Structure 1
Amino acid sequence: MTGATTPPVTTPPAVGRPGRAGPPGKGGRPLALLAGIGGQNLSLLGALALVLTVFGLLDDNYLGWTNLQVIAEAATITGLLAVVQTVVIICGGLDISVGSQAGLASVVSAMAFTSAGSNALAGTAAAVGVGVLVGIVNGLVIVHGRVNATIATLAGLAAYKGVAQLLSDGRAQGYVLGDPVFVFLGRGRIAGLPVMVWILILVALAVHVLLTCTDLGRNLYAIGGNDTAARLAGIAINKYLVAVYALIGAVAALAGILLTARTGSGQPVSGSEGLELKAITAAALGGCALKGGRGGVVGTLLAVALLGALENGLTVQGVNAFWQNVAQGSLLVAAVVVQQSRSGDRAVGLPG
């Protein structure tokens, strides 16, 4: 009797682990580093360097440490909202209400602070609680109400702004600059950097680790890439979506708290209006595919830095704020056009 022959064992290639771009020692490592950064991020770095150089030549103080801190502080709130906007876009959603959520949280934080006898903990806890609540409401409307995410959060944009104005009677509320906690959050420094910037760094790092190093993050990419396949794979899509919108609400509340700390009072509209457009623009510029399944925190942060540097430079040069809005809208359109050209999708209204 002839014995069975054991087939040779082959090792399947690792999924999602690209090899080095060339042999080490012969240019492979630099090429691998560039490949790891990505073409999108390299383009953003180049654009950021160009903006800094141009405005640095126009104004000697533009690249000074003081002005760079001003740019970073101004971009922090937008950065927080853009980071969580990245998460929801990756899983195929969108949240247009983040600016209104931040404004509502700002009002709640200041009013709760005052009502609790100048208690900063009460103010921050109330704001975060409200943020998580409105985030869950958004998620439930989208998931169980079967409402398109854009329409649901567009309704939230109007509703949450209205609630903030009703609570505050349309005026700034409270005064928190006498409280050491709010002063530390809004004006404190750690190792020479504003506390607000450190908060953005920590949140961005946590979200980056979530997306790149956990099964939860991989599932979010899977949901955005192909929700049907994700459902068949056993991913609880509805629970993920509600959790993502709750996360957005929590971080939007944090942004509102920082807005209160920075301005010294709860702001129902001023300071939060237009933040949703900035957050979406940063995420799109950073490489997020608006159809879902692609994007990352690093690219979003580079886009936030680019938008912040551009806005500050135009302000320093005395350019009308209306033109800044035009530039921001143009960048969003340009980002979407580039995404469409890379995706290879047929242009609307034109033959394939």
Structure 2
Amino acid sequence: MSDQTIARTRPVGAGLGVFLGLTLLGLLAIMWLALSIETTTFWTANNIANLLRQTAFIAILAIGQTFVIITGGIDLSVGAVEGFISMIVALLLTNDLGFASTITGAVTISLLIGVGIGLFHAFGVVQMGLPPFIMTLSTMYALRGIGLLITNGATISITNDAFTNFSRTSFLGFPWTDGSWFQIPSLVWMVVLVAVPSHVFLNHSRWGRYLFAIGSNKEAARLSGVNVKAITYVAYVLCSLFAAFVGVLLATRIGIGNPTQGQGDELQSIASSVIGGASLFGAVGSVHGPVIGALILQTISNGANLLNVNSFWQTIITGALIIIVVYFDSLRRRKR
């Protein structure tokens, strides 16, 4: 694989992502239109704002997950990292530890712990040769257990109003169709804060190209001069860092820290990434895809609740979507 070949791997993934992104946006528009017709409460400023808040956490997790999936790996620990970090930031804010107990200190330390977890994952995958599935699955269980040992199973309440008020704030707004005023939640801006630099990194940097090259053919990428180990470290560190960021945001939203929070979010992040066009075989993915995928999943959940549909159907629909997307991805790969 020459440098020219490596340079071509990114546009292929990006082109597919744009086409699929438009398709998913069309599907999302149909879903929103149908729900607006079937219910009187879906297309209201409050419900859409709540939908976007619910989407924010999974969207950020899915962006980080996509980096790992592009390399041909997977991270099953993001939900556990999210819960563990919510506990860490709560512990720091509720104890007198000097700078560490300030909002800036607590958030910084929490994010650094996320970076450390990502480094640990990459070390296991790269240096020890462990399968990503096993490495991250082990961390998922370990973090839950460590968190429960530290807290003895208790929930830590956060009394710092300046910290917890953040998730309730909104920035900018515009008139809504029902005559009310729609305010863009701060959590949505956090998605933008993560997504924009992630898009630039993935689609307009050499390291982003290398991620696709590793997912396409790791050995060929290595022979072409790509530092496969270093780029793999970058993917896992970004994934865990984003999960830690979500843990901090979750703590601001619900005002508590508990290591059991975030259960199931790892599967939601994988589902959002796959539905958004990332290939579990590697080398294909985008940033906008998982964001749209997360929005589709949360729309299904929100719509089902408004229509009083049994919650079990939500998981069935999600599973069916994943099967369909992976099946068509397999067909695409066979034709290449």
Normalising by structure 2, we get a TM-score of 0.88
Select the structure with the greater relative contact order (CA < 8 A; seq sep ≥ 6).
2
**1:254 corresponds to 2:245:** yes
State whether residues 17 and 285 of structure 2, in contact with CA within 8 Å, keep that contact through their aligned partners in structure 1: no
What's the counterpart of residue 211 of structure 2? 220
What is the letter of the counterpart of residue 215 of structure 1?
A: R
Which residue of the other structure, out of 240, 258, 265, is the alignment partner of 1:275? 265
Choose which of 44, 47, 50 in structure 1 pairs with 2:27: 47
The one-letter code matched in structure 1 to 2:169 is G
Deviations 1:252-295 (A, max 9, x none): 1110001100001112223x010010100111111111111111
2:43 aligned partner: 63
Q: Deviation of residue 70 (structure 1)? A: 0.4
- Match of residue 31 from structure 1: none
For the 8 Å contact 2:17–2:286, the answer to whether it is kept is no
SS at match of 1:344: helix
Would the alpha carbon gap of residues 16 and 134 (structure 1) be closer, same or farther in structure 2, given more than 3 Å must change? closer
Instruction: Please list every run of at least 4 consecutive aligned residues from structure 1 whose deviation after the TM superposition is greater than 6 angstroms.
Output: none
Q: More helix by proportion, 1 or 2? A: 2
Give runs of aligned pairs for residues 70-81 of structure 1, distance below 5 A: 70-81=50-61
Q: 1:89 to 1:170 in 2, by over 3 A?
A: same
Distance apart, 1:343 and its partner CA: 1.4
Give the Cα separation in 2 of the matches to 1:164 and 1:323: 32
Match of 2:144 among 161, 175, 181: 161
Secondary structure of 2:308 counterpart: coil
Shift of 1:36: 8.5
Cα shift at 1:345: 7.1
Rounded to whole Å, the distance in 2 between the matches of 1:223 and 1:77 is: 28
Look up the SS of the partner of 2:31 in the other structure. Answer: helix
- Supply the AA of the counterpart residue of 2:51: I
Q: Distance in 2 between matches of 1:167 and 1:51?
A: 44
The amino acid of 2:270's aligned partner reads I
Q: CA deviation at 1:123?
A: 2.0
Aligned to 1:131: 114
Match of 1:111 in 2: 91
Residue equivalent to 1:239: 230
TM-score by length of 1: 0.84
The residue identity in structure 2 corresponding to 1:266 is G
* Distance in structure 2 (CA, Å) of the matches to 1:290 and 1:77: 21
Question: Any conservation in 2 of the 1:92–1:291 contact (CA below 8 Å)?
Answer: yes
Give the Cα separation in 1 of the matches to 2:246 and 2:334: 37
CA–CA distance in 1 between the matches of 2:226 and 2:41? 52
Query: What is the RMSD computed on CA atoms of the aligned residues?
Result: 2.0
Which of these residues, 337, 341, 348, is aligned with residue 331 of structure 2? 341
Residue in structure 1 matched with residue 199 of structure 2 by the alignment: 208
Residue matched to 1:180 = 162
Q: Alignment length, in residue pairs?
A: 313
1:143 maps to amino acid: V
Q: Counterpart of 1:193 in 2: which secondary structure?
A: strand
Partner of 2:178: none
- In the TM superposition, residue 119 of structure 1 has moved relative to its aligned partner by 2.2
CA deviation profile, 1:179-200 (whole Å, cap 9, x unmatched): 213312x111111311111011
Same amino acid, percent of matched pairs: 30
Structure showing greater Rg: 1
Q: Where does residue 151 of structure 1 map in the other structure?
A: 134
SS in 2 for 1:190: strand
